[in-house]
Each structure stands twice: as C-alpha cells, then as structure tokens.
Structure 1
Amino acid sequence: MTSAVKSRRASMAERRPSMAERRPSGLNSRRPSVIPYLAGLEKPVLPTLPSKCDVLICGTGLVESILAAALAWQGSNVLHVDANPYYGDTCATLTIEQIRAWCASVNDGSPGFHGFSKAMLHIPSPHKLNSRDYGIDLTPRLLFAKSDLLSLLVASRVYRYLEFQSISNFHTFENDTFDKMMSTKEEIFVDQSINLPTKRLLMRFIKFVLEYELPEGKKIVESHMNENFVDFVHNIFHLSPKQVNEFCYTLGLSPMPKISVPQGLSRVRRYLISFSVYGDFPTLYSKYGGPGEISQGFCRSAAVAGATYKLNTSLKYYDPKTKIAYLNDGSKVNITEKVVCSPSQAPGGSKNVPKMQYEVTRLISIVEKSCKEWFAEGENAAVVVFPPKTLSTMNAYPVQAIIMGSGTGSCPDGQCIWYLSTIERGERARKDLQAAVKKMEESILRESEDGGFDVELSDNDVAIQANGNVSVINSVKLGKSFKEFVPREKLKYLFKLIFTQTTSVAPFGVVSNNVFEKAEETEHIDAGPDEKVIYSSMPSTEISYDGVVTEAKVLYSKIVGSDDDFFDVDFEDEDEDNANTRNIDDESAIADDTEEFQSEMAFEL
C-alpha cells in the first residue's frame, strides 16, 4: 500500500464542520426555506448507487458543484461523485492531516490529483497543532461585491449556508514598505501625503474608469486598444509609476505585467463598482473556508433538489456505445445524457483532458502572530501585492498574497495564514514567493505592537476619517523609520506548503465552448477510457472568482442545449417559507444525528 493511500485513509475520518453545521441544529433555531439549513445531512440514502442517471459528474470542485445544483434544480437526475474522502476536489478546504494526505497523493501521482505537482510540506512541531483547528484553502479566492457569483449565491439561496466577512485593506509593497491604497474620493481627499494636483489626476482617472463605456470614453479606449495598460495610464493620465502599480496590480489584481487597456480598465472598474455595495469594502470571503465552503453550499443545494452524492468514488471507464460508466467501486451506471469530469479526476490513460499549459505556484504559511496590523478595524483579512521588480529577485510577475487572521475561522487565536501565489514558472516562482514571505515577515515584526519599537507621528502623518477613525497616511515615514530597526522577536512558522498547479485557462481567459469541443470530436478508434467525457477546467490563476459561473454555464449548455433556464427556479417567498415550516420527521427533514447514519451516508459534509 502506497504512503498516499495510507495517508488518505487516515484522513478520511477527519473533517471540519461546515458553516451550516456550526449553526444551532434545533428545529426552533432553523430558518426554513426552500433550500433548508443542513446542520447535518439530508435524510441519508443507502450506499448503493443508482443504476441509471441523466448526468454523472466526477469531482466536487466549485464549477462542478454549481453545475450539479443547476442541473438538479432544472430536473435532471444527477449522480455526483468524488475520488476524495472530502468535498471540494481542487478547491477544497482541508485540515492539517488532510493536507498531509493530499501532499502524499500529489507526489505519488495518485488518481484524483492530476494538475498538481511538486508539493513540499514543512511542519516544524506537528504535535503542537490540533489538525481540525485549521481550514487551509487549496485555491484561495476573493469575492467581489459586484460579481456574477455573488448574484448567483443570492438568487440560488446558497448564501444561506455561508457566512461572509469583508476585506477593505489592499496593500502595495514598494520601497521596502507596505502602503494601503487610497481608492475612494474620501480617502484621497484627506490624504495629506498627496498634493492637490495629484489628487485631481487621481480623481480624473477614477471618473474615467467608471465612465469609459460611455461614447466619449469608448473613443479613447478604441484609439489605445492595443497599448499596454500601464503605459496608457501613465501617458494619458500622468499618474506616477507607483500609482499606476497600485491601480494595475493591487486594485486590479492583475497577475501579469503586460495587459491591454480594456483588460486593465475592466479590472480596476470591478474594484471601484464593488466598493460600498454592502459597506465600506469591495471584497468578501467565506468564513471557515473559501471555494471549498462555497462548493459545499452548492452540493447541499443539489442534494435538496434530488442529486445523489458519494465520496471515495471515481470514474474508471465510460463506454459511449452502451452509455455505461464503470466506477472504481465495481458499480455500473447507465448515463442517459452526459458525463462531466474534473481534470484532476480523469481516468488513467485519458486522452481527452484539456491541455494544461499555464501554471500558478502557491506558498501557504501559518505564522504564530495575529498580523492584525494589516487589517482594517473590525476585519480579519487583508491583501498584499508585490508588483513586478519590487522584490530582491526582481520578480517579472506580481506576487499576490491573501492574509487570513483567526477571526476568519481558519486558524486559532494569535495565528494567521498567508496565501501567496504567482504565475511565474519553475524555480524562479519559488524564489519570488520566498522573497515575498521574507518581506512580509520583516514588515509585521516592525509594525506589530509587541515588536519593541514605536514611531512618533505628528498631526501631518494621520487623518481623521468621516466615521471618526484615525488613519496613518504617511506610511513612507513609517517605512523609513522602520528600515534600520531590528526586532527583538522572530516570527515563528508553524506550517509551510508550496506546490504548483496547472490549468488550461489563460490569465484573463474566459472559458468558452471551444475548450470542450475535443470531447465531442473524439473518434472511437484508439480512444481512451474517457471518450465522450466532457472535462471542466482546473482552477484558473485568478485570486477572484471571475470565470467560475461562466464555465458552469458553458458546461450546462453542453448538456441541456442552452443556459436559458440556468438556476431559473421559482423559489417560494420568505413569508410562505415561514408558514410552511418543515417537520423534523418529514421525508425532506434534516438528519442531525450523523453518528447514527455514519455507515449509510452517501452525502457527508
């Protein structure tokens, strides 16, 4: 038995409760709805799989889970399986022990882990960590307040399974300091480090970004269509290189330096129009886990609509002539419509998987420090971006970092998780990420309250916001003061994981029908075990959720024929829901006693 198999089996019983399970499970505490809170499970089904279904979906990643829910609510009979002992697949949120098993499986080349490679894990003192206290995202993401995924979460009522928190602090690393980007008119107005002419230039550019789709703006964009966005902003709006970097890489979250004018404008606009939609912040994240938690939400929705779920189950072979799918547990399922599979769970010998030519390298660190100095008041997370050429390695691509504090539910008090990523390749990528971690370490030790250093700030260094909060606006002064400071403490790393993931989706790419055309054109002669299987894509290099709903709709159209009725569900009104509270003994009731049904559960979240 390989080390990967042993590790996977050892981790099968370990599972963090999802957001829905953390809520009180008593009947009186539930708010009834068409998609009820699942504080445990849907009434469990026997482990025997159905002999027939309309659509078989392999892999419970975010795209596949959205697809399963959309199909189930449309009326399709969906069987949704996953080779892993947990939900989320390539987007999973895992405990420490599950990460150990995941690394072993990746490095052994085990089935179900295609697309990941070169996983290196270091845990200095494993006995000091309670595995289930941690929720580590394989593909961390930020949710913009104005986005198609958030709209879908609301329309589908899946948001009821989740809890979101805000992120408003976006920091840019330059000149050995981390500056917080001033992106609103109010912040720019009170920032005394910016002179009046510069403020006017900034206001002019922000106004243009918000209105560039109007006739006058369109003419300007069309005349500079093929220019580099960075050059366009500098030459037309006369902003400094530092300000251009902040708009392009920090607010726009561009993963690469050379982007077109339309691409750059759309990304900056995404940030600006998301600000103040729900409050003084542009982005959110799901508590207790990112895409993994949202995937579980859509799986729950699909289960309510009638989908069947089974973990530790993978596709071995699909015969398009008989339309029979053969699974690794020995069962056979007749498929009336389509088979959809995640590339990570492709059958051995598959010839149909989309070519994964793009890379993202991720470094995840858990540090024994709250890192609250980077967070806005009342928040528990922040974003840090290292633009090109700002690290000692002279990084060609930006390094993006998402910082998650203990208030996110992903780690214990007094600790923090750093998620860093870059689309640089090979050893250069790893060097860039290590250099960025070093700068983050130096910064948090300097700026933390217990670092043993204090800086005297004058009235010109701070500003009082409209809500009464005091903000430091002269971070340059802080940076200069801190530069020669040697902290009394050292940062303690509890966990470090670095790995590479490949994808078929190009940076800024939008998934379209031609991504899946190969499956339709495959000839039976010399075909692999996946003939006629439609493959989804590995997660993109984005740290936003852009493209996720688009891909789910494209897959939905390949199965149904169009996306006209994609989540077109006539949910009952809230008042009607309250008037029809479900009885705990009804067929659709929730089974709260998970241990009682542990041996029978086919849907375990």
Structure 2
Amino acid sequence: MESLSDTRWDVVISGTGLRHSLLALALSRSNKKILHVDENDYYGGPEAAFSLQEVDEWVEELGKVGNWWIYNAEEAVLKRLPNGREDIFQDKNIDNRAKRNLMKFLKFVVDYENQTDVWEAQSESGLDIFLSSKFNFPAHLQIVITALTLSLAPPSETSVKWALPRIARHLTSIGLFGPGFGAVVPKWGGGAEISQVACRAGAVGGGVYVLGTGIENVKVVEAEDTESPAFHLALSNGEAVGTKLYVHEATDKDNGGITTVSKAISIISSSVPSLFRSTVEGSPLAAVSVVVFPPMSLQIADGIQSDPVYIMVHSSETGECPAGQTPSGSPLDLSFDDQLLEQVEAQWREVMAEKANEESFMQFEERKGMEAEEEDDNDY
C-alpha cells in the first residue's frame, strides 16, 4: 500500500463535521482518491459509533414535534402558535383584519420562490420591516412568524432571505409525519451520528481516514497539468501530501465572528400534559413541544433579554425520564440548515468537474452483492 505522501490525492478533506462528512458520502462512489483527516481522534465532535444498519434503528427513535407555544409576557401565559388556516380561523386572539393578512402571507410564503418581486428588494432587511410593510403585521404577529424560523436573533436582525425558506419549510411540512406534525427530533445523538455514518460510507467507497491528524501548513502551487497537485499540505503527523483540491472547515474568522449560545437541560417534576394535547383529529400525542420566549419577555437579573429563548419539552411518555417527570432543554442546533446540502453539492460538483453532470448528487445504486448477503443472513 502506498504511503500518504506517495499517493496523488484528488481531494483532501480536513474535518469530519457534518458538512464535510456529507461530502465524503456524496463522493463515496466517485472512484476518486480521497484523504479525510481530522485533528480530533473521533468523528463529528461527540464520540459516536453507528453501523449503516443501525441508522434505521436511530430513525425509529425520532420523536414527533407537535404543538408550538409562545410566551405572552403581558398575560404571563403560553399561547399556541398557529400552524395553518384552521388554526388561524379558530384563534380568538387574532382579529379579522389580522387573519386576512395572515392568510395572505401564508399563501405567499409557500410559493415565495416564484414571487421574488415581492421580497427580493428587501432580502437583506429585517423580517419585521418586511412583514410590516408588505402585510401590515403588528409587532406581536411579527414575533409569532419569526418564532417559526427558530432564529437565534430578534425579528429586526433576522433577514428576509434567511427566514422565508424556513417558514415555508415549516408550513409545507405539516402532516408529513402524521396529522398535525411537521418535524421530528432525535431522543439522543444527532449530527455526530450522521457524520459517523457518512464517513463510514466514504471509507467503504475507498476513502482513507486518519484521525488525530490535522493540517499544519498549506502551500498553494502552480499545477503543471490537471493531474498535478495544486496544494501541498503538511500534516501534524510529520507527513506531507499533495492534492488537486483541498476542502477544510470554516474558521470563526471565516464566519464573521463567534456566536455565543447558552444551552441548558432541565428535568421538570411534572408531566405538563397541556403542552402535548392533540389539536388535530386522529393525531397521536406529540413527543415534543416547542416553547418560545420572544425577546424582552423574560426578566433577567443582570441584563436584558435581547434574543429569543427556545425550549424543546419532551413528553414523559418518551421514557427518557421516570413517569411524571419531563425533560426539557434549549438545544444548540435548532433545525437542519437546508443551505448545508447546497454547500455540499457545490463542493461535490467542484470535485467531480465534468462528471458532475453525468451523475445525480446523493443518488446511489444498490451495491452488488448486498441483496445476496441479506438473503444469506436470513438463513440463520
């Protein structure tokens, strides 16, 4: 077997975070020579281990997200967020004029991609200005709509172009996981497990993985031809490699600074059944409810609550706690970022070059021999 230094790599990927692990998965059938390194001695952050078969079991552990609630500071009560036309018409707290404007907005947002003339000029503006100028939303409805995006910022700092696809995804997902449900969350694990599975697929496809080894130095060189390395990389294990393409994790500087997010997990000594009651005929009880505390709705002893707070409350029926107790927490990753797959596809196309048009992104044919192996397993 050739050493790392003697191999001409098509691409070196540094970091086994979710984005670059998914890139490894996308390239797993490409026949490219791929070196995937990580300065950590584990995949994707938290240590995890999954086989491809265990993914199916992990999916079965997803809890359905049902009701969304928002805290009303003036009345000191939780109010249910409307998820569609029926909820809006039945909500006695919304006057008729606001209901008409909400219906107009719902009709627009599920088709926003074909109505760029309505929002593109304000794409960089805050969502509050857009909702006020285009749909005459009062401040309290702006907060309600912004809550559906799970934005970590207030409406004034949540851009229109970032918010619209998230609101559309939420509304068009209602019912996909059963009556009244539009999202799922894992009881345990998360992105790290997906990274593990993706990297394993990359290794099965011929990728070489080296954990505990990072990139110490990068030198860009002028390639003699399309087959020659364009990057010389010095690895922390003392080896040097050449590669046509180099993909690395973005730094905090690349992302425009560090965002500080506080996270907590609490156990409530109550089953809080009112949070999980069914609101749609024929739907089971929700496993998870989302509670939103908008900016300025909480009293903080040593400061002002300028940003929203989200709490994912898990039903005691999930079995995560003893009967009568409810786990709740403010998660770091509130929702899957659709743009992540767009970034992965862009990098995949760069690696595949002219072959990118001949293959479908993330579409894999059944590996030869897999069905036969499964039949053999069933004989025992």
Kept in 1: contact 2:309–2:330 (CA 8 A):
no
- Name the CA shift for 1:391/1:581 in 2 (closer, same or farther; >3 Å): same
**SS of alignment partner, residue 83 of structure 2:** coil
Distance 1:263 1:318 in 2: 33
- Name the CA shift for 1:86/1:569 in 2 (closer, same or farther; >3 Å): same
CA apart distance, 1:230: 1.9
- Of residues 57, 72, 76, the one that matches 1:174 is 72
Distance 1:544 1:406 in 2: 25
Distance 1:394 1:224 in 2: 29
**SS of alignment partner, residue 276 of structure 1:** coil
Q: Name 1:267's counterpart in structure 2.
A: 166
CA apart distance, 1:242: 1.9
Kept in 1: contact 2:63–2:186 (CA 8 A):
yes
**SS of alignment partner, residue 73 of structure 1:** coil
**SS of alignment partner, residue 341 of structure 2:** helix
Alignment of 1:18-29 (within 5 A): none
Verify: 1:165 aligned to 2:63, yes or no: yes
Q: Name 1:397's counterpart in structure 2.
A: 307
- Name the CA shift for 1:306/1:405 in 2 (closer, same or farther; >3 Å): farther
| Cα deviations by residue, 1:264-313 (Å, 9 ceiling, x for unpaired) | 44332221112223322222224421211221221222222222333323
- Of residues 98, 110, 113, the one that matches 1:210 is 110
| Cα deviations by residue, 1:217-273 (Å, 9 ceiling, x for unpaired) | 55544676676432443454344422221112x112233322455544433222111
- Name the CA shift for 1:406/1:62 in 2 (closer, same or farther; >3 Å): farther
| Cα deviations by residue, 1:544-584 (Å, 9 ceiling, x for unpaired) | 3232112222333443336544635441399x954553757
Q: Name 1:254's counterpart in structure 2.
A: 151
- Of residues 29, 32, 37, the one that matches 1:73 is 29
Q: Name 1:189's counterpart in structure 2.
A: 89
Kept in 2: contact 1:362–1:419 (CA 8 A):
no
**One-letter code of the match for 1:341?**
H
Q: Name 1:230's counterpart in structure 2.
A: 128
- Name the CA shift for 1:336/1:375 in 2 (closer, same or farther; >3 Å): same
Distance 1:278 1:357 in 2: 36
**One-letter code of the match for 1:554?**
A
CA apart distance, 1:183: 1.4
Kept in 2: contact 1:402–1:418 (CA 8 A):
yes
Kept in 1: contact 2:271–2:316 (CA 8 A):
no
Kept in 2: contact 1:366–1:415 (CA 8 A):
no
Kept in 2: contact 1:93–1:289 (CA 8 A):
no
- Name the CA shift for 1:380/1:75 in 2 (closer, same or farther; >3 Å): same
Kept in 1: contact 2:126–2:160 (CA 8 A):
yes
Verify: 1:277 aligned to 2:176, yes or no: yes
Q: Name 1:567's counterpart in structure 2.
A: 361
- Name the CA shift for 1:362/1:320 in 2 (closer, same or farther; >3 Å): same
- Name the CA shift for 1:158/1:269 in 2 (closer, same or farther; >3 Å): farther
- Of residues 212, 217, 235, the one that matches 1:327 is 235
Distance 2:237 2:124 in 1: 53
Distance 2:47 2:77 in 1: 31
- Name the CA shift for 1:77/1:219 in 2 (closer, same or farther; >3 Å): closer
Q: Name 1:62's counterpart in structure 2.
A: 18
CA apart distance, 1:75: 1.5
Q: Name 2:280's counterpart in structure 1.
A: none
Kept in 2: contact 1:82–1:313 (CA 8 A):
yes
Q: Gaps (5+ residues) in structure 1? A: 1-45, 95-155, 345-352, 422-540, 585-605
Kept in 2: contact 1:56–1:340 (CA 8 A):
yes
Distance 1:380 1:238 in 2: 35
Alignment of 1:128-143 (within 5 A): none
Once superposed, what is the RMSD of the aligned Cα atoms? Answer: 4.0
Q: Name 2:224's counterpart in structure 1.
A: none
Alignment of 1:482-561 (within 5 A): 543-561=335-353
**SS of alignment partner, residue 298 of structure 1:** helix
- Of residues 238, 241, 245, the one that matches 2:139 is 241
Q: Name 1:581's counterpart in structure 2.
A: 374
TM-score normalized by the length of structure 1: 0.48
- Name the CA shift for 1:319/1:408 in 2 (closer, same or farther; >3 Å): farther
Alignment of 1:28-39 (within 5 A): none
Verify: 1:338 aligned to 2:245, yes or no: yes
**SS of alignment partner, residue 270 of structure 1:** helix
Q: Gaps (5+ residues) in structure 2? A: 222-228, 278-283
- Of residues 293, 308, 326, the one that matches 2:193 is 293
**SS of alignment partner, residue 168 of structure 1:** strand
Verify: 1:387 aligned to 2:286, yes or no: no
Distance 1:73 1:390 in 2: 51
TM-score normalized by the length of structure 2: 0.73
Alignment of 1:312-461 (within 5 A): 312-318=212-218, 325-330=233-238, 332=239, 334-343=241-250, 355-369=254-268, 372-373=271-272, 374-375=275-276, 378-392=285-299, 393-403=303-313, 412-413=321-322, 414=325, 416-419=327-330
**SS of alignment partner, residue 295 of structure 2:** coil
| Cα deviations by residue, 1:115-152 (Å, 9 ceiling, x for unpaired) | xxxxxxxxxxxxxxxxxxxxxxxxxxxxxxxxxxxxxx
**One-letter code of the match for 1:553?**
E
Kept in 1: contact 2:109–2:167 (CA 8 A):
yes
CA apart distance, 1:165: 3.0
Kept in 1: contact 2:4–2:241 (CA 8 A):
no
- Name the CA shift for 1:166/1:324 in 2 (closer, same or farther; >3 Å): same
**One-letter code of the match for 2:81?**
M
CA apart distance, 1:403: 4.3
Distance 2:309 2:265 in 1: 18
**Quick one: percent identity of the two aligned structures?**
27
